[in-house]
Amino acid sequence: MDRIEGKASELTQRIDTVTGGRRMRRLRRTDWARRLVRETSLSINDLIWPIFVVDGNNIVKPVASMPGVHRYSVDRAVDAAREAADLGIPVLALFPYTDPSRRDEAGSEAYNPDNLVCRATRAIKAAIPDIGIMCDVALDPYTSHGHDGLMEGETILNDPTVEALCRQALVQAEAGCDIIGPSDMMDGRVSLIRETLDGHGLRDTLIMSYAAKYASAFYAPFRDAVGSASMLKGDKRTYQMDYGNGDEALREAAQDIAEGADMIMVKPGLPYLDILTRLKAEFSMPTFAYQTSGEYAMMMAAVGNGWLDEERGTMEVLTAYKRAGADGILTYFAPKVAARLKAR
Ligand SMILES: NCc1[nH]cc(CCC(=O)O)c1CC(=O)O
Ligand SMILES: [Mg+2]
């Protein structure tokens, strides 16, 4: 009775008046309450781990601009896949480092059925059949000019590139790749890739299109990792999207979905969370985000300097991706995050 009749101080009365007595901090007081009302949680099932593969044997070679990230020879990529499967990571995305000697103007190594990515796919599938394998479709790891498409003078040709991409997707799918990820941003490629796969009886191979892929400064360390940084002449702004545009991402995604994409992706991630939210709200498709090499490098540089706590930083950022609408995230932090989530 005392408490009910007890008079709060004048300050408390004023705060009760402005808040209507609804004190927001009540739900934040304890760990159990915070966990109870948390709207979004990150799980191991949300993670796709991109790894770099390289020719040779028993090689695990660090990528200088991405502390903690390595290039693996096929045998060691199989070990990485086993580690990923043991952690419960659903999918591994493979990217090849291609020696300059294997590159040409046409990027023809892209559709060599025995190229590095196909060999890695076959080896991983044979050893660990239950992990999903995703392969990038774009010519940049294979071209001597570092572009995603075929070049004529200064122009990146759309239609002849699409033909090459179809051949690339086919050798990857035939090698056992589960998810084809066209990252090239040519027009019409999703539909022609679907047609090619179906025409070869590969109706179960999934397509995750890089639907909204922006011309970004945040790919720089990746280009180092696949060896195209020093090759690249000019930039990719005639095919990747302009970072000032949001509506265009909706039109891009609408096209890719109409053409048969099973899943769509936004890339980069952190500077484009608004795009992620809009695409998820508009299309209700399985929607993914790529936490790019530049985002990874930025965070790891701060971690290396002692300016950012890696565990807290990664959990916060990856959860933010999910809150924004991502069903999953391609992230170089995947194995570390999965190990921490598993240990909880
Ligand atoms: N088409 C190639 C490709 N696929 C994925 C990335 C970037 C990945 C990353 O930065 O982590 C790129 C680079 C680019 O478009 O130049
Ligand atoms: Mg498109």
Q: What is the DSSP string of 73-115?
A: -HHHHHHHHHHHHHHT--EEEEEE---GGG-BTT-GGGG-TTS
Taking the CA atoms of residue 248, residue 254, residue 256 and residue 260 in that order, the dihedral angle to the nearest 10 degrees is 180
The DSSP symbol for 149 reads: S
Average pLDDT, 10 consecutive residues per value, the chain (344 residues): 71 96 96 98 98 98 96 98 98 96 96 98 98 98 96 96 98 98 98 98 98 97 89 93 98 98 98 98 98 98 98 98 98 98 95
Q: Is 66 in the pocket of ligand 1 (CB under 6 A)?
A: no
Q: Token digits for 230?
A: 């020093």
Identify whether 233 is a catalytic site residue.
no
10 and 144 co-located in one domain: no
Neighbours of ion ligand 2 (CB under 5 A): 252
61 and 24 co-located in one domain: no
Cα of 148 from ligand 2 centre, angstroms: 14
Whether cis (ω within 30° of 0) applies to the bond prior to 268 is: yes
Domain tally for the chain? 2
pLDDT, tens only, 206-253: 999 999 999 999 999 999 898 888 889 889 999 999 999 999 999 999
153 and 191 co-located in one domain: yes
Q: What is the pLDDT of residue 1?
A: 41
Q: Is 170 in the pocket of ligand 1 (CB under 6 A)?
A: no
Which position among 7, 61, 125, 267 bears the catalytic label? 267
Q: Is 51 in the pocket of ligand 1 (CB under 6 A)?
A: no
Cα of 127 from ligand 2 centre, angstroms: 35
89 and 16 co-located in one domain: no
329 and 189 co-located in one domain: yes
Altogether, the residues listed in the chain come to a count of: 344
pLDDT, tens only, 132-141: 999 999 999 9
- Which amino acid does the sequence have at 123? A
> Distance (Å, rounded) from C-alpha 208 to C-alpha 287?
9
Q: Is 291 in the pocket of ligand 1 (CB under 6 A)?
A: no
Q: Is 136 in the pocket of ligand 1 (CB under 6 A)?
A: yes
Was 252 annotated as part of a binding site?
yes
287 and 234 co-located in one domain: yes
103 and 231 co-located in one domain: yes
Cβ contacts of 233-236, under 8 Å, gap ≥ 24: 233/145, 233/146, 233/147, 234/154, 236/147, 236/148, 236/185
Residue 48 backbone phi and psi in degrees, to 5: -120, 130
H/E segment holding residue 328: strand 328-330
CB contact set of 14 (below 8 Å; sequence gap of 6+): none
Mutate to test the pocket of ligand 1, among 208, 219, 223, 292 (most ligand atoms within 8 A of CB): 219
33 and 89 co-located in one domain: no
244 and 307 co-located in one domain: yes
> Distance (Å, rounded) from C-alpha 297 to C-alpha 293?
6
Q: What is the pLDDT of residue 230?
A: 85
CATH no. for residue 179? 3.20.20.70
19 and 94 co-located in one domain: no
Model confidence, pTM: 0.96
19 and 111 co-located in one domain: no
Q: What is the pLDDT of residue 4?
A: 62
212 and 255 co-located in one domain: yes
Cα of 340 from ligand 1 centre, angstroms: 27
Residue range(s) defining the domain that contains residue 227: 45-343
Identify whether 125 is a catalytic site residue.
no
Cβ atoms of 289 and 276 closer than 8 Å: yes
